[in-house]
Chain A
């Protein structure tokens, strides 16, 4: 009998074997109700969660159908715990519904089960958001919509939000077939699928949620695709001014909108237009305890809000987002890893994950560049080793990260890639300044004025600059299409998301189909090496492999024979003495 590709674990994990003829079929069957957790070489891991089940039910998949799919592809019987979980969670979604109140005055939380309504009415985390009784159910003030949904999600009774969205002020927008820069344009299949998954039939069941795609896969185009469907005034939240300008350039390049249609709401300009671009930082800025910019922007009739790099959504924006529930909301990200563990709030306030695609799958289709990852483990010189041994914990991390032995290694790598476009990325300014000097390459940090940054990025894109040294300001949302080598000299602790974002800087497909090369340089036998293991986990889970090489304290390559074993004394047979 043919081996089936799926193994269902009792902890709700689904293991899908890649080397199986039914792999793709099974993967497609799982997509609707299980979240892809990781996709390394042999076995991909999916997870069932209450959110994934609720999402699936919301999209019309029944618990029985989910179970049937599991049984169809599972090599071993589905554990009873999993069956129970699906049945239980599947029944929860839709028992509570949020609609426009029958008399048109606000919203109405209702459901057919009076016991459930009584139950939630006695839950102290929900009570503050309930209005007066409106049988069967409660009247809800529109401003409480997001907070109520968040509270109900937390206690395990997600509400089906059928109250609809504000359609927003209309905006005529078409996608160009030929970009302004003269390249043919059409959305790729997966971008169309992502936009379709988000938009659905345009009804209230859809129109809010998150699209997860690797760096370089064209998330901005998904955003444009959604804007094209929405045809409404749109607010776009980005992580930085540089990213804001990239969005502006993309919109101008690929849509029918003109500069008059696009406004920038930043520290420099305070314009509001049919499409307005702003930053998270500005939105969450407070003056005398008030979110003044938010208030100004909230007053406009937006029909769609796009959250770029939604995994970075700061806590204040979470709170503000709760009051934006009447608008369609699209989150875009490469990694849904939130180091602060607030993924459930993303679900409640932005919406469920609507689309996800494995990095290696896109690489296989040629939509992102293939990448080779290398880790170079460098020794600490004796003098630094002694400092490291006697230093406090926080200081030790820095000593390891700023190991001077990394400099000759970086120089050798840059020389090795003499014809490539190289980004040298690091965390510590002193180290980056020294590298900038040694490599005679410009440096971009948080202190670099925005205009200078953009000038340097542009020069790098045009090839005038071959090597660019950058701090963490370049971790996100910077489009450097021709960068094909990244050398990471230091990073922030064990952040998997940062490692992925940094690799993402070089994943945009290259014009000649070249592959990308990612180096990470760590000090061997230090905390940095431990952090490095953790940082690499996400990419390994996405199917990337790191080759490991070693260098000595002078930065010279090191062949390491296995260490000699200290022999234990041989045991003398009893009676020998």
Chain B
């Protein structure tokens, strides 16, 4: 559940070859270029981690706890301020639990990969939860939680709605409030904070590319492939995406997930005493003494996305979040739907989301509840045909997803509707329209087999996706034409630009925590930790007296420590500026990359 630190895959992929070879040796694995995945498996092996933890001394365990509480990252400066960091890191070097990473090119952090977070939290901090428990208990309403948590039900309803009515956007790129209000009325009539809920769902859907922008209509459409993939993911992956959203999108603070992590370690019936939390956070240095901790703000946001329940005095994870965090979700069961002669389809909560999404494509959603109810309608069949499904596939899909055979009258209705819907069809094809028959003939001979058939003396039909290739062919043949395909009217999602803001959640479901790891190193390669107070004093004095200083620093992307002598002349916006000794060359050194500085005494 915890979503802190970089992913292990990110770290392992960015280790230099020599350090990776050393890591393999530490793990007792044979060296080899293709061993990065087996190394990851070995590193994340729970029994290995348990054994490592058992051997660690108190300082190292405390260091790991601090790392967890600080969100999986500890900057050099913060690490340097801890009295026992050096000793702890020396011991942790062989464990492969912590790494030194270069973050966003200029930053240096000691990082704990997220794969270790849950297991370390349970070993090192779960006991702390008991000191935060409220006096009262309430049994959980849900004893068995299916993969049908309210958040995903709501998301599903939003996507189902958008499948039928694309979401129109304002000039500012927001969904029109009247549309959001309509959805709120439909999904949760009379509920509090409905608009906030719907906006979170829209945001989540866009972050995961489940909704795509159609420029020509200024609306959001369901990205069918992405949505299918999303609903086909394992419950664990989907729930982690939910937690990530709750922890990272709503707040830049680490507090929401600390709250959630404490709550996940409680017994099912227990609550956290919210009044004890600020005291604990201050005592453990998570927040500075005297700082105001606005827990209710974080709690409200988590409540909006269905992770949190309770009030100002006591709170805990919702049933769905609690069981998801503790891997307590029941396994989905396929093929459980019941189709009634009335055309109603009853889909129980144990059915996988993938199946429900498939039902949504071929039937009309009536109600998303404990039992999700659909109705087989002509409109549903039409939607299935629109999505490219063939009629026999629709019938087969319905049979495959049902416990009982399709009732004969329902089947007859489907056949009749299919007959009505497909007897006449409007095809969208790509036409090459020419001014005259002679021009059209010229193009026909230039395109050769690319022409499917001639529609009229001036119109040729070519395959829908072949427009750009046809333009290129005609250009090569010396036939000039406009370099664009005219598309009147139809809403169409734009292709996602590589690296656009939409895609930062891809390829997996985990959301970025704001850090971008550009390089990683084993702890053993970590140089001395800086004492920034001392460095600042040295630099300020040197500027004042116009003296040279020797600076040890780790330049971005360099992979090793560099020592340079320079005459500093100013510190500005986190950068130290000066000239290299003996040259007129100007240098800029990112202050946070400096490990040590000392005055250079003239011989």
A563 to B425, CA, bound (A): 12
Interface residues of B in 392-420 (CB under 8 A from A): 404, 407-409, 412-413, 415-416, 418-420
- Nearest residue (CB) in A for B453 is A569
Chain A residues within 8 Å of B141, by CB: 77, 80
Is B342 a contact of A569 with CB atoms below 8 Å? no
* A304-334 interface code vs B (CB 8 A; 1 in, 0 out): 0000000000000000000000000000000
A435 to B207, CA, bound (A): 66
Is B409 a contact of A548 with CB atoms below 8 Å? yes
A560 contacts the other chain (Cβ, under 8 Å)?
A: yes
Q: How far is the CB of B363 from chain A (nearest CB, A)?
A: 15
Is B341 a contact of A540 with CB atoms below 8 Å? yes
Interface residues of A in 538-577 (CB under 8 A from B): 540-541, 543-548, 560, 562-563, 565-566, 568-572, 574-577
Q: A9-B369, A43-B338, A562-B391 are in contact. Are A568 and B412 (CB under 8 A)?
A: no
Is A547 a contact of B408 with CB atoms below 8 Å? yes
Chain B residues within 8 Å of A548, by CB: 408-409, 412-413, 416
A490 to B466, CA, bound (A): 53
A250 contacts the other chain (Cβ, under 8 Å)?
A: no
A450 contacts the other chain (Cβ, under 8 Å)?
A: no
Is A577 a contact of B409 with CB atoms below 8 Å? no
* A1-43 interface code vs B (CB 8 A; 1 in, 0 out): 0000001111101010000000000000000000000101111
Is B469 a contact of A560 with CB atoms below 8 Å? no
Query: Total A-B pairs in contact (CB under 8 Å)?
Result: 123
A524 to B412, CA, bound (A): 12
5 cross-chain CB contacts under 8 A: A543-B341, A548-B412, A563-B419, A563-B422, A576-B450
Name the residue among A541, A547, A565, A572 with the largest chain B CB count within 10 angstroms.
A572
A264 contacts the other chain (Cβ, under 8 Å)?
A: no
B550 contacts the other chain (Cβ, under 8 Å)?
A: no
- Nearest residue (CB) in A for B427 is A568
Q: A7-B348, A545-B408, A575-B469 are in contact. Are A42 and B425 (CB under 8 A)?
A: no
Neighbour of B450 across the interface among A525, A537, A577, CB < 8 A: A577
A170 contacts the other chain (Cβ, under 8 Å)?
A: no
A532 to B465, CA, bound (A): 43
A79 contacts the other chain (Cβ, under 8 Å)?
A: yes
Q: How far is the CB of B291 from chain A (nearest CB, A)?
A: 37
Chain A residues within 8 Å of B463, by CB: 569-572
Chain A residues within 8 Å of B466, by CB: 571-572, 574, 576-577
Neighbour of B340 across the interface among A7, A40, A76, A533, CB < 8 A: A40
Is A560 a contact of B407 with CB atoms below 8 Å? no
Given contacts A9-B367, A40-B340, 17 further A-B contacts (CB under 8 A): A38-B342, A42-B338, A42-B340, A42-B346, A76-B370, A377-B416, A541-B342, A545-B407, A562-B391, A563-B418, A563-B423, A565-B422, A569-B463, A572-B462, A572-B465, A572-B466, A572-B469
Interface residues of B in 154-175 (CB under 8 A from A): none
A372 to B369, CA, bound (A): 34
Chain A residues within 8 Å of B462, by CB: 572, 577
Q: How far is the CB of A265 from chain B (nearest CB, A)?
A: 42
Q: How far is the CB of B406 from chain A (nearest CB, A)?
A: 12
Chain A residues within 8 Å of B498, by CB: none
Chain A residues within 8 Å of B177, by CB: none
A15 to B343, CA, bound (A): 15
A499 contacts the other chain (Cβ, under 8 Å)?
A: no
* B365-404 interface code vs A (CB 8 A; 1 in, 0 out): 0010111000000000000000000110000000000001
* B458-475 interface code vs A (CB 8 A; 1 in, 0 out): 000111111011101100
B452 contacts the other chain (Cβ, under 8 Å)?
A: yes
Chain B residues within 8 Å of A498, by CB: none
Chain A residues within 8 Å of B461, by CB: 569
Chain A residues within 8 Å of B468, by CB: 574
B447 contacts the other chain (Cβ, under 8 Å)?
A: yes
B429 contacts the other chain (Cβ, under 8 Å)?
A: yes
Interface residues of A in 51-87 (CB under 8 A from B): 76-77, 79-80
Q: A375-B409, A546-B409 are in contact. Are A576 and B419 (CB under 8 A)?
A: no
Instruction: Rank and list the top 5 A-B pairs by shortest CB-CB distance, nearest first.
Output: A548-B412, A577-B450, A577-B469, A572-B463, A540-B342
Q: A10-B369, A533-B413 are in contact. Are A41 and B391 (CB under 8 A)?
A: no
A13 to B366, CA, bound (A): 13
Neighbour of B469 across the interface among A9, A10, A568, A576, CB < 8 A: A576
* B408-444 interface code vs A (CB 8 A; 1 in, 0 out): 1100110110111011010101000000000000000
Chain B residues within 8 Å of A42, by CB: 338, 340, 346, 404
Name the residue among A79, A377, A548, A575 with the largest chain B CB count within 10 angstroms.
A548
A551 to B340, CA, bound (A): 26
B142 contacts the other chain (Cβ, under 8 Å)?
A: yes
Chain B residues within 8 Å of A563, by CB: 418-419, 422-423
Is A565 a contact of B390 with CB atoms below 8 Å? yes
Chain A residues within 8 Å of B409, by CB: 375, 536, 540, 545-548
- Nearest residue (CB) in B for A537 is B342
Q: A11-B369, A547-B408, A560-B415 are in contact. Are A571 and B464 (CB under 8 A)?
A: yes
Chain A residues within 8 Å of B346, by CB: 15, 42-43
B456 contacts the other chain (Cβ, under 8 Å)?
A: no
Chain A residues within 8 Å of B342, by CB: 38, 40, 537, 540-541
Chain B residues within 8 Å of A77, by CB: 141-143
Chain B residues within 8 Å of A574, by CB: 465-466, 468-469
A8 to B407, CA, bound (A): 25
- Nearest residue (CB) in B for A575 is B469
- Nearest residue (CB) in A for B349 is A76
Q: How far is the CB of A488 from chain B (nearest CB, A)?
A: 16
Q: How far is the CB of A550 from chain B (nearest CB, A)?
A: 8
Q: How far is the CB of A28 from chain B (nearest CB, A)?
A: 22
Is A10 a contact of B370 with CB atoms below 8 Å? yes
Chain B residues within 8 Å of A570, by CB: 452, 463
Is B473 a contact of A577 with CB atoms below 8 Å? yes
Is A577 a contact of B341 with CB atoms below 8 Å? no
Chain B residues within 8 Å of A536, by CB: 409
Q: How far is the CB of B190 from chain A (nearest CB, A)?
A: 10
Q: How far is the CB of A32 from chain B (nearest CB, A)?
A: 22
- Nearest residue (CB) in B for A533 is B413
- Nearest residue (CB) in A for B388 is A568
Chain B residues within 8 Å of A571, by CB: 463-466
A566 to B390, CA, bound (A): 12
Chain A residues within 8 Å of B343, by CB: 540
- Nearest residue (CB) in A for B430 is A569
Chain A residues within 8 Å of B369, by CB: 9-11, 13
Q: How far is the CB of A220 from chain B (nearest CB, A)?
A: 30
Q: How far is the CB of B575 from chain A (nearest CB, A)?
A: 48
Q: How far is the CB of B459 from chain A (nearest CB, A)?
A: 14
- Nearest residue (CB) in B for A42 is B338
A158 to B431, CA, bound (A): 69
A536 to B462, CA, bound (A): 47
Is A577 a contact of B470 with CB atoms below 8 Å? yes
Neighbour of A41 across the interface among B367, B407, B418, B427, CB < 8 A: B407
A562 to B415, CA, bound (A): 7
Is A11 a contact of B469 with CB atoms below 8 Å? no
Chain B residues within 8 Å of A569, by CB: 427, 429, 452, 461, 463-464
A501 to B344, CA, bound (A): 23
